[in-house]
Structure 1
């Protein structure tokens, strides 16, 4: 059967990444690629990747859906299977089996936490970036001229992408162990301001005294508030000064005091609501760090 050159190109990139980072993944475990007319997705349970033919040169999509997600799925399931194999030799299990208790031969598929899945998807992008050469002729989303290029930050991507983006890959010594961590441990170690890179030591308690990194959407909204508040203050001050008449040393109001009271109350409410909104962002961000 004739091999598809587009698929072979992707498998070669996957192999290059796995060799570069010492990942114990056999070629037989590589995801099956199916070309689709309308969707780009990876099914971890089936280990199938759906890809549009026009995206076979898209570095971000290949990194996320053909490297990050599959590597996470394969190495995590291998870890679960190894744990199951180790349990088979335990004395307690042999006694229980002697009394008729049944144990599965293969580890059940474990559905990943959505934020953790997106975290490893973005890690796949970063891994691919280290092995790509100009000869590969890959294009990153931000360099594409196509108007239908996938948006890098969609709502369900934000948390995982944010923490993966700032991760220092050079500090990770064992990528097999890294990819096979449980979802809870991934969050404890890496969804925080001070990532815990030493996988042989238990993670310390997350630091929450400093503000955690905001997601891109939160940063944009906060920036808007920081622009709006000073602008409101300036316009309010200009409006207030325009209502005064200054002659020599005398200053007299031209408008009713009630007008100033109403305007001042309105401005104060805007400030309070904005501060409450920023406080809510900060609290939500702290919760995500745990």
Structure 2
């Protein structure tokens, strides 16, 4: 068996270069291994591109520009124990810390957590950082009041149902879970911000993961598609209650493109789905 390279080669844009793209099965271990390596390698380029928009201590829910300071989806976090999953460089956790939360930030990627540690030091806002997987949270049962995730973790896990059961396990009764994910409506369209590219090129019902591969056919990036109904069933199956499903509209005056998200496309179709849930 050939040895897996320690780091994927980078393209001219600083992101890991894909040798190929496929829609094929990708299980829990393959998805986690590929995405850990991808985000470790991509962290500098990603934060160079998006760091100013994300901020050092700010809570951006989605490319449409919805921020927690305006949306108040988490409620008052002061004095609450909060777990952020898929924290990246942890700007959301630092924002919550300034709002009085007792927060822990978790991510799969050591590269992202290294940047988070640097920002902890430069901002003087020190939040605990933990490397771990969403499907096996290193947290005791009923230990937290709030779990949140802003495009972190859930789109990349093969077993969303298992991840949501973990979220339910660590939440106390009455606790709150809010997560933003790619809107399932994005999957049938090309990955382009141009509204002229709004043509259906694949089936909305095709759940086969999107996989980028290296020259040897090994997965270097994996993203999983679920329909709106899939997300609802996964949340309910984990024992959580859905309080709201939010499809943010584009923030007036916001001009940033973010991958396939753009003001022009955002005026026509939803790009983000936010699950607002609680544990009974």
Q: Which category describes the TM-score, using the shorter chain as reference length?
A: under 0.3
Q: Normalization by structure 2: what TM-score? A: 0.23
Q: Normalization by structure 1: what TM-score? A: 0.23
Higher strand share: 2
Rg: which structure is higher? Answer: 1
The answer to which structure, 1 or 2, has the higher relative contact order (CA under 8 A, 6+ apart) is 2
